[in-house]
Amino acid sequence: MTRPPTAVQRRIIDAAEPVTGRLTGTETQLAALVKRGLAFRHPRPPHDHFLTPAGHRVREAGPPEAAAAPAPSAAPAESGGFAARVGGEESAGDGPARAREVHSAWQGLLELRRMTNPGGATDRPCGWERAHLVRAAALALEAAGHRPAGPEAERGGYRVRTTPQPEAVAVHEPDTAALRGCAETLRRAGWQPSEHTDPRTRERYLLASPRKV
C-alpha cells in the first residue's frame, strides 16, 4: 500500500469489530478497501467484509500522528475498547458486562478461525492469533474463567508474556494447580503447552505455541 487510507476509510477500519475485523460500510466504500488489499469479501452468505492482515495492521498502527508513539509493554486494547487481560493491568471490571464482552470476543475468534483456517477448522489458532500471540492466549484463558493477575504480583493469577521464541508465549501462574489448569485450557483451545522451570528463580511456567495441525 503506497497511500494512507482516506479519512472515511480510516473511520470504517477503526470501527471494525474488535476480534473478527468485520466491517460496516456502503458497498462502494467496502469495495474500495478490498481493492487496496485492506479488506476481503467473505465467499459465503451473507458475504460480509472483513479486515485483511494489512487492514488489521493499519488499525493497530493508529492515526499517522500516533505512529511514532512508543509501544506499551502490555498488549494494547483493540479498537472498540476490548482487550483480553494479559495479567498485571488494572482491573477492567469483573461483572456481567465484562463476562459478556469476553464471551463475545471468544465466539468471534472461533468464527474467525472458521472463516480463515483451511477446511473451516475451529480447533486450532488462525493467522490472527499467530500474529497476536499474547492477546490470543490471554483471551483463551480469560474466556475459560481463569483469573488474570492484578498489578500486584503477590495476589496470584495468570500473566501472559512474550518470549525470545517467535511462536511461543510464556504463561506464569504462582499456583501450581492453576498453572496446570491454564495448560489444559490452552490445550483444548488448540495450543501446545509445556511446563518448564526457570533455572534462576525455580518458578514453574508454561511455554505455549499455536498448534499447526
Tell me the pLDDT tens digit for each residue of 22-58: 898 899 999 999 988 888 888 777 788 988 878 887 8
pLDDT band at 192 (very low <50, low <70, confident <90, very high): very high
pLDDT band at 196 (very low <50, low <70, confident <90, very high): very high
pLDDT the model gives residue 5: 86
Three-class SS state of 79:
coil
pLDDT at 77 over 50: no
CB 186 within 8 A of CB 141: yes
Encode pLDDT of 166-179 as tens digits: 899 999 999 999 99
Single-letter amino acid, residue 72: P
Q: Tell me the average pLDDT of the chain.
A: 83
Cell of 116: 480463515
pLDDT band at 154 (very low <50, low <70, confident <90, very high): low
The greatest distance separating any two alpha carbons of the chain, rounded to the nearest whole angstrom, comes to 58
Strand order in the sheet with 204-210: 159-162, 169-172, 204-210, 191-197
Q: How many CB atoms lie within 10 A of CB 75?
A: 22
pLDDT the model gives residue 2: 56
pLDDT the model gives residue 151: 82
List phi, psi (to 5°) of 176. Answer: -60, -45
Q: For the whole prediction, is pTM greater than 0.85?
A: no
